């Protein structure tokens, strides 16, 4: 294994450990504060008809429209 590959793998492991720790620390906050707040925001935006829409394409055959104000997926996803 080259030095560059070894360094990349170590960096990847460090980043993955940080991501896992972040998820653990935010789990309760996300469930009790963040997700309910976003849900309420998207419901209020939907009731007002949402804002402008932006087309998202995942590059592997699926696309959808997203409200640029609240970030909600609007309408059904479709194949491209």
Min dist CB 76 to Zn ion, Å, is 16
Min dist CB 1 to Zn ion, Å, is 48
Residues 70, 50 contacting (CB under 8 angstroms): yes
Give the integer Cα–Cα distance in Å for 46 and 73: 10
Min dist CB 80 to Zn ion, Å, is 22
CA distances from residue 2 to 16, 22, 75 in whole angstroms, order as listed: 21, 30, 48
Q: Write out the residues near Zn ion by the rule CB under 5 A.
A: 45, 50, 67, 69-70, 72
> Closer to Zn ion at the Cβ: 1 or 47?
47
> Closer to Zn ion at the Cβ: 14 or 46?
46
- Which two tokens mark 47? 């009731």
């Amino acid at each position: 294994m080259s030095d560059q590959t070894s360094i990349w793998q170590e960096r990847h492991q460090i980043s993955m450990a940080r991501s896992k720790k972040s998820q653990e620390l935010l789990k309760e906050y996300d469930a009790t504060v963040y997700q309910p707040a976003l849900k309420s925001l998207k419901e209020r935006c939907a009731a007002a008809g949402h804002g402008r829409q932006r087309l998202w394409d995942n590059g592997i055959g699926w696309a959808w429209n997203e409200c640029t104000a609240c970030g909600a997926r609007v309408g059904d996803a479709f194949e491209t």
